[in-house]
Amino acid sequence: MGHDMDSQLAIELLGFVFLAYLSSVWYCWMTSSTPPVATPWAGLRKEVFKTTRASLRQVTGSIQTLAEGYAKPQSILPQEHIAWLIRQPDSRLSQWAARKERNAMRYLSLGGDHMETMALIGKVLNPCLQRKTNRIQMNTYDEIRASVDDTMGLDEDSWHETNLHEALQTIIDRAQCRVFFGFPLCRNKDYLFNVRRFVNCMGTGNLDVGQIPIWLNRHFWASLINVPLQYYRAKFMKALVPQVIECVQNFEHEDIELVTDQEADDFVTEIVKVVEHSGDGIYNKAPEYLAEELLLLSFAALSSTAAAGTHLLLDILSSPVYMKTYETLRKEAAMVFSTEADWGDQVTLQGLVFTDSAIREGLRQNPLQIRGLLREVMPASGITLPDGNHIPQGTWIAVPFQPIHMDERFYSNADEFDPVRFARMRAEGDRLDSTHTSETCLAFSYGRHSCPGRWLVSQTLKLLIAYITLNYDVQLLDKRPLNTVFADTNIPSRSARISVRRRKRA
């Protein structure tokens, strides 16, 4: 009943935001605007209200606009400029100045200072994900195993249909909540429900408010999202803060090294440890503050990993029968995991070369952001691009991720999902695992602000694909269901259904 009311609230809210959007569209049509820069616009055509219509087209037709921008780039930069772009300091090309508007971050009710948050998140993520993956890997596996069994069922005798995106969201929410907040919070249904609602509100705020013209009082439209956002945030905090307090007390009253050794297998412990050990006094030690940082981390992690998992499984299940993709991945998993302990071993996981290649290929074909490396020009005098073009202060520049991933100069048969593409390249000597970013592989962005969560993504997706292929038969799809592109986001089908059956194993 409570959940029905929440769904109702969400629907009304979305309706309201849609109305807000329509009114902004109307306003755009009634006013003429000029491009912010004296350089050509991608998507500009000879038509009435040409700039307004180009802006509107990019909300739903971004891929096409990007392709145009790619051929005749100005504020959409060509691939050749990426090396130059990532060398520019934030004082010249600012990520945050663009993000706070594009993702509406400055309008949403969130605590904390952005720069500090990013620095802290980096300090928590890096040791946990790069140095202690064994510790969290067993937990991730244990939660994936339990949640896949619950969600996909144990019936070996009959097939049943399930909504792929919903199933993966449930599984990944649990697996990542286990890593972030530990056991038993990751199994608490109310807690998971509130986390999910918070993440959805943030997503709606990011996407919808981020599309409303800046001069159309974004504060007002954001306030509509801020009501449920605050509500779910408060519920989330109510459950999480006591756990953070307990963890802080453990550190203060017991032998720190002992606690560190025994319990540093979730991010709650890791964040407390990082802050306790930082001698510079930069970080606020209040449990509410630390819980808030974890809340933001959940937002960055949960939906993106579920969306990437959905894209990937759709790719695998709709790849041509002759490629035997599902079978190949199953065989590889069977070879790599011979004991239960193998699932927690970081070195064993590295044996999943085909699976890793399929993950990287899935992200190549379907990056979640079709445009990225978005930056705002900061100097009052503007900046000059390597090709001599001058861009004035306040302009946004960006790079078209999707067209670069589809460029035949970098990938042969780029339109084709080739799950073993990167495994082949690795055999030829290229070091190309799924976490490796480059000027031609941009799904996790590139450079200073590239995604610090990609090791967790890679670990989670490998364990997930291996567990599903080993334990389930899944019917292949005749055709890959279409994605939806909204603004810069490439959303996989949310209605695609798959037929699954628990595999009979000796």
Q: Given the rule CB under 6 A, which residues bind ligand HEM?
A: 95, 99, 118, 121, 125, 297, 300-301, 304-305, 308, 368-369, 372, 443-445, 449, 451-453, 456-457
Min CB(238)–ligand HEM separation in Å? 23
Q: Is the Cβ of residue 17 or residue 125 nearer to ligand HEM in the bound state?
A: 125
DSSP 444-478: T--STTS-TTHHHHHHHHHHHHHHHHHHEEEPPPS
Q: Kindly list the distances between the CA atom of residue 318 and the CA atoms of 368, 477, 482, in Å, as whole numbers in the listed order.
A: 19, 5, 12
- Which residue has the closest beta carbon to ligand HEM? 453
Phi and psi at residue 472, in whole multiples of 5°? -135, 145
| Nearest-angstrom CA–CA distance, 60 and 41 | 17
Q: How far is the CB of 98 from ligand HEM (least distance, A)?
A: 8
Q: Which of 275, 310, 305, 277 is nearest to 289 (CA)?
A: 275
Q: Looking at beta carbons only, is 135 or 390 nearer to ligand HEM? A: 135
**H-helix segments, 209-266:** 218-253, 256-263
- Which of 226, 305 has the CB closer to ligand HEM? 305
* Closer by beta carbon to ligand HEM, 49 or else 486: 486
Distance CA 20, CA 14 (A): 10
Q: What is the DSSP string of 350-410?
A: TT-HHHHHHHHHHHHHS-SBSEEEEEEE-STT-EE-TTS-EE-TT-EEEEEHHHHHT-TTT
Q: CB-wise, 52 or 444, nearer to ligand HEM?
A: 444
Unique residue bearing structure tokens 């109305």: 19
CB 372, min distance to ligand HEM, A:
5
Which lies closer to ligand HEM via its Cβ, residue 354 or residue 401? 401
Minimum gap (Å) between residue 29 Cβ and ligand HEM: 30
**In terms of CB distance, is 372 or 419 closer to ligand HEM?**
372
Sequence-distant (6+) residues with CB within 8 A of 439 are 79, 82, 83, 446
Q: How far is the CB of 473 from ligand HEM (least distance, A)?
A: 26
Instruction: Name residue 71's amino acid.
Output: A
In whole angstroms, how close is the CB of 161 to ligand HEM at the nearest point?
A: 25
Q: How far is the CB of 130 from ligand HEM (least distance, A)?
A: 12
Least Å distance, CB 209 to ligand HEM, is: 16
What is the torsion angle, in degrees rounded to the nearest 10, for the CA atoms of residue 391, residue 396, residue 402 and residue 406? Answer: 0
Tokens of 353: 């070369």
Considering only CA atoms, give the Rg of the chain.
Answer: 23
Nearer to ligand HEM, 52 or 208 (CB): 208
